[in-house]
Amino acid sequence: MTAIEVTDQNGKVVLELIEYDGVRFPVGIVRDPIAHLKENSQLTFKESDIFVVSFPKSGTHWCYEIVDMLKNNSSEFTNHMLPLIDILPAERIKQVPDGVFASHLLPRHIPKDVFEKRCKIVHIYRNPKDAVVSLFNFIKKTKDGELMKDMEFDLFFELFLTNQLPGGSWTNYVKAWSDFQEANTTYPLLNICYEDMKKDLKGHVKMIADFLDFNSSEKLIEEIAKKCDFQTMSKFKNSNVPVSMRMVTDVTDKHIMYRKGEAGDWKNWLKVAQSEALDAEVQAANIPLEIKYM
């Protein structure tokens, strides 16, 4: 375990992290992320529990909302914070009532009981160019990003590309889950492409329902697809910000997890050289998933 201070070009500290087992964890919401990982590694789950996993800002909340609605046979929005096992203490995780969880952790850091119980996993992935733009706009609004408020995108992109941010690189994350699936071919894991879900939300709600073996009615699937249209969902969430969000941010007048939700916004941010650098990194990783840039 190593304490790390990430600095900008002027030597100003912009992030305080702890590196453990090849991954950097933020020191903010969870003061001792390693102790947290170890404590949660002992958690037990039910076979019916479901996990939504993703690299940050890849549609985690969106996909979670759909899965939660399907599990509860309802098109009502949740009014609580995402049950992210990465930051929730063990006692809080045990109290999650409907057995739907989320995580940005690598497979090797997910509690082993999840795999032993063969809990179903939905992995949503988004192209890294849109992910880095969304992450840049999000992290500066969090308590962990307090020191980054004045940072320019170019520096953030360099930190992203050189694997200096919390959670590790996009390629390492997505490759880790594709490697897990390749090594465990019978494990119930569904890959969902964010860009495809944007194009055909109803079809993907049905796909998720079928994967989870839910006998969801056509009416419910249509209702969920309408409710989870990004603009509809964002409007509701921004008008119903949970008090518990103050765990991660001092912004209280809006739900910081929902910004544009667009596919292709990266074209307004990335320079040609930056886009090409990410292309090269993704190609070198040889990820067996189709990455789509709108």
**Which residue reads 């990455």 in tokens?**
291
Give the global pTM.
0.89
The per-residue pLDDT for 259 is 56
The DSSP letter of residue 84 is B
Sheet strands side by side (includes 100-103): 100-103, 50-53, 120-125, 189-193
The rounded distance, in Å, linking the Cα atoms of 129 and 16 is 24
The per-residue pLDDT for 147 is 61
17: which residues sit within 8 A by CB, 6+ positions away?
A: 3, 4, 5, 6, 24, 25, 26, 27, 166
The per-residue pLDDT for 143 is 55
Q: Which residues of the chain, if any, have pLDDT below 50?
A: 250-252, 255-256
The rounded distance, in Å, linking the Cα atoms of 22 and 31 is 19
pLDDT in tens, 236-268: 667 666 555 555 554 445 544 555 566 788 999
The rounded distance, in Å, linking the Cα atoms of 146 and 253 is 17
The per-residue pLDDT for 195 is 96
One-letter identity of residue 14? V
The per-residue pLDDT for 64 is 94
User: How far is CA 164 from each of CA 13, 271, 279, rounded to the nearest angstrom?
Assistant: 13, 20, 19
The rounded distance, in Å, linking the Cα atoms of 60 and 42 is 24
Mean pLDDT rounded to a whole number for the chain? 87
Pair type for strands 13-20 and 2-7: antiparallel
Query: Residue 281 is inside which H or E element, if any?
Result: helix 272-285
The rounded distance, in Å, linking the Cα atoms of 52 and 61 is 9
The per-residue pLDDT for 145 is 57
pLDDT in tens, 198-239: 999 999 999 999 999 999 999 999 999 999 987 887 776 676
The rounded distance, in Å, linking the Cα atoms of 227 and 128 is 26
The per-residue pLDDT for 235 is 77
